[in-house]
Amino acid sequence: MLKKFSAALAAVAMVALGAAGQTLINAGGATFPYPMYSKWFNDYKAKTGVAVNYQSKGSGFGVAQITAGTVDFGASDMPLTDMQLKDFSAKRGMEVLHFPTVLGADVPTYNVPGVTATLNFTPDALAGIYLGKITKWNDPELTKANPSVKLPAKDITVVHRAEGSGTTFIWVDYLSKISKEWEMKVGRGASVNWPAGLGGQGNEGVAGTIKNTENSIGYVELIYAIQNKMPYGNVKNANGEFVQASLASVTAAAAGAAKTMPEDFRVSITNAPGKGVYPISSFTWLLIPEKISDPAKKKAITDFLGWMLKDGQTMTAPLSYAPLPKEVIAKETKAIAKIK
C-alpha cells in the first residue's frame, strides 16, 4: 500500500517537477523592445514549441550576462563597444554577433505651462540643457528655434533616467555626436554621470515626473509617448529640418544606414543624414554568440531568427514598432549562417 502510494507520488512529482525534455532558451536584456519580444516569443512557442524565456532587465543586463555566458542570448539597445567585444572574446573564447530586430527612437517631452505648440529643439539646445548650461526656457537657443512661441523666463528642470537603460544610451549617443563637450565630459553608456537633473524610474517615472513638475523636460521612448498621448517636440536633423518622430521618420533614419550597414551590424543611426530623418533613432539588437554548443539550442535560435526576419517583421506595426529596412533584413538573413 505504502509502496503504491510512494510510486504514485513519485510519478506526480516527476511530472510536476518536470523532466528536462523540451528546448528552453534563456535570454534577457533590453526593456524597450520587450512588448514586441514578448509577443514574438509567445507566438513562436505556440507555433514551434520552442520556449524562449526572455526577462526584461535592461540593455546592460543583456550585454553583461551574454558576456558571462549565463544566458543563451542577450538583447540590447546599444551595440557592444570595441572594448566590450574584446572582453567578450577574452571571456567566452569566441565572437558575439549582433542581429537588429526593430527600430526605436527617443523623443523630448516637456511640460511648460502656457505652451501648447510643438516645440522645436536644436541639437545645441538639447546638449546645453542636459549639460546644465542652458538653464532658462527663454534662452536664445530655444527662442530662436521657436519664434512664434512665448517661452517663459523660468528655470528648466531636467529629467533623465535614474537607472541604466538603452533609452538613455540612445539619448546620450546622440548628444555625444552633436556635442564635443558632452562626448568628453559625460560620454555614452546605459548609465552615465548626469551633470544636471532629476532621475525618474523607467519611462513611466520620467513621464510622471514631467507631468508633475512645471517647466520640465525629459526623454522617453517614442512608443511610450504615443501610447500615453504625451506631447513631444521636433528635433533638428543633420539635414537642417525640424522633424517629429514617427514610424516613417524613424524608418527613414534606418534606410540611410541600410546602404552602408557594416558586416557586424554595429551601427549608430543617431543624427543620420538624409531627408525626413528623425535624428534620435536607433536599432535594437539581439546578441548571439557565434558558437552554440547545444545543437538543439542552435537550431532553435537560428530558426527563430529566420522567423523573426520574415513573419516577425509583419507583426511590428500594431505595437508601434518600426520594422527593419529590406536591405538590412536581406543582409541579416545571410548572416544567420555565421552561427556555428
Which residue ranges make up the site for other proteins (CB under 8 A)?
A: 16-22, 24, 26, 28, 34-35, 38-39, 41-42, 45, 51, 53-55, 57-61, 63-65, 67-71, 83-84, 87, 157, 162-164, 186-193, 198-205, 208-209, 212-213, 224, 319
Shortest distance, CB of residue 173 to other proteins, whole angstroms?
11
Shortest distance, CB of residue 334 to other proteins, whole angstroms?
29
Shortest distance, CB of residue 142 to other proteins, whole angstroms?
21
Torsion angle defined by CA atoms of residues 23, 29, 34 and 39, in that order, rounded to the nearest 10 degrees: -10
CA distance readout (Å), 166 to 31, 33, 191, 202: 8, 10, 9, 11
Q: Is 306 exposed, middle or buried (0-12, 13-18, 19+ CB in 10 A)?
A: middle
Whether residue 207 contacts residue 230, with contact meaning beta carbons closer than 8 Å, is answered with yes
Shortest distance, CB of residue 268 to other proteins, whole angstroms?
16
Choose between 196 and 238: whose C-beta lies nearer to other proteins.
196
Choose between 298 and 331: whose C-beta lies nearer to other proteins.
298
Choose between 201 and 239: whose C-beta lies nearer to other proteins.
201
Whether residue 32 contacts residue 166, with contact meaning beta carbons closer than 8 Å, is answered with yes
Whether residue 128 contacts residue 115, with contact meaning beta carbons closer than 8 Å, is answered with no
Choose between 61 and 283: whose C-beta lies nearer to other proteins.
61
Rounded-to-integer distance, Cα 89 and Cα 304, Å: 24
Choose between 165 and 249: whose C-beta lies nearer to other proteins.
165
Q: Which three cell numbers stand for residue 41?
A: 516569443
Shortest distance, CB of residue 206 to other proteins, whole angstroms?
10
Shortest distance, CB of residue 261 to other proteins, whole angstroms?
24
Shortest distance, CB of residue 191 to other proteins, whole angstroms?
5
Q: Which amino acid is at 255?
A: A
User: Which ranges of 69-110 does DSSP label H, i.e. alpha helix?
Assistant: 82-92
Query: Which residues fall within 8 angstroms of residue 136, CB to CB, at 6 or more apart?
Result: 153, 154, 155, 156
Single out the residue of 38, 84, 83, 81 nearest to residue 64, CA to CA: 84
Choose between 116 and 293: whose C-beta lies nearer to other proteins.
293
Choose between 31 and 146: whose C-beta lies nearer to other proteins.
31
